[in-house]
Amino acid sequence: MEDKKANIIAITSVIFLITIIIISRVVLDLSKSFFLIVGAAVAGIFAVIVGYFIRRHLRNRRRMMETRLASEGKELRIEYSFLRKVAGLPTKFRYKELEEITDNWKSMIGKGASGCVYKGIMKDGTAVAVKRIEHDEERGEKAFRSEIAAIASVQHVNLVRLLGYCIHNNMRFLVYEFITNGSLASWIFSSGRSNCVSGCLSWRLRSAVALDVAKALAYLHNDCRSKVLHLDVKPENILLDENHRAIVSDFGLSKLMSRDQSRVLTTLRGTKGYLAPEWLLDLGVTEKSDVFSYGMVLLEMIGGRRNVTVIDTGGGGGGGADRSKRKFQYFPKIVTEKMKAGRIMEVVDQRLLDHGGIDEKEVRKLVHVALWCVQEKVRRRPSMVEVVKWLEGRVAVEEPPETQMIVVDLLSIDDDEEGGNRGEGQDGNKRKKPRVVARVASQLNGCLGTNTNSLSSKSFSYSMSIISPR
């Protein structure tokens, strides 16, 4: 547009100067004044023509440079994009692209504490899962950064692959590869389906999944520059691909831990039933906290049931309104008792037993591994590298030592609270709380002295809110 204006001005100027010359010739004839005007007009016409060619040359040169820079920039973008893909780094998406990929957020495939997950199809036909983080701005940003930091640069066959991300206003999005068979929870917990062919993972596949998850956690804890603590290991965060290979996902609560750190202090978050005792008591977390969660998941895979459940002891059909008729069941304690009694097969998922073909030695091995992992004392728990060796059969698993079952102590207090009006009452129970939790803390740490009272009151409320069943 500017070039067109300049050309019009130049032509208009030349025509104007020629017109001046013609008018001067008619009016002034061949006088001295006429020749002065002609000289000035010719000089002006020459200047306009020279200016036009100089401008044209500069314009052509600029266009050549812009074309060259655009070509080089395109090559750099292609090269950068290629290198990011080779390195496995995530791509930045535009919000409009995500709307097109998910067809305006029509297909929601999951919803969790951190947000909703939508299925999408990219232009090349690749299926993806788009996670929309729905916390408030501060927590959402924290979860977003934690997930990016933990998973963006790691490469492992049993870890979910982060393809990209998007920041739009206060919203945060993460784009993952789509895992076809959903979460492990839908394959090990009964959902009304009566057979093991469609909806119940076989014993062989459960063993394979246990090994896959152990390898993924061992990689995060030992083979990354900084240790990656997942801190939310549970069946819902373990996905199964088309070959029922386990893929560990959801790093929204993860923490990076340097090699010279012994533990990380963090606010109590996570999922009921899977948090390690030291985290419940606010003593900090380590990679052994993930080991505890893994052990709890392994027990759930063996038994096909949640580790902490509530049973109604009232025997009536009046519903669950009467809390005094409810009682907690803690599956790890049941497993320990069955193992002592020599009836270890009784803890196995009944659907698997009905299907047959389960080796008691294999069951005993997995139970031993799980009970080693859920030891209350952190130093007794194995590393995930040791767990992998046990599961692969490279090292024999010894029988685990007895554990105090701390959660049982805490649950017993809750039972007493429900029956407080019938027995010694609330006062007696209030006296019992600090003693039990202080004893628990001393078993875990051994160095808690003057702080046990403050620890008790805070930790008990934390503990009960977390270990209570879903």
| Among 406, 410, 411, 412, CA closest to 444 | 406
Look at residues 384, 382, 428, 380 and name the one whose alpha carbon lies nearest to residue 404. Answer: 380
Q: Which of 3, 124, 212, 232 is catalytic?
A: 232
Residue 328 bridge partners (DSSP):
310
Backbone angles phi, psi at 450, to 5 degrees: -75, -15
Q: Which of 401-438 are b and which e, b meaning 16 or more Cβ less than 10 Å from the residue's Cβ?
A: eebeebbebbbebbebbeebeeeeeeeebeebbbebbb
By DSSP bridging, strand 171-177 and strand 255-257 are: unpaired
232 catalytic, yes or no? yes
Residues in the chain, how many? 470
CA gyration radius for the chain?
36
Indicate the helix (H) or strand (E) that contains 326. Answer: strand 326-330
How many angstroms separate the Cα of 190 from the Cα of each of 64, 183, 185, 293, 428?
68, 13, 9, 21, 40
Q: Report the alpha-carbon distance of residue 297 to residue 304 in Å, rounded.
A: 10
CA distance 345 to 362: 10
Q: Is 131 annotated as a binding residue?
A: yes
Which helix (H) or strand (E) segment is 131 a member of? strand 127-133
Distances (CA, A) of 292 to 186, 275, 298, 427, 437: 22, 7, 10, 34, 19
DSSP letters, 398-454, are PPPPP---HHHHHHHHHHHHHTTTTTTHHHHHHHHHHHHHHHHHHHHHS---TTHHH
Pairing of strands 91-92, 162-168: parallel
- Report the distance separating Cα 366 and Cα 299, nearest Å: 8
Strands 108-111 and 308-312: unpaired
Binding positions for ATP are: 131
Binding positions are: 131
Positions marked active-site: 232
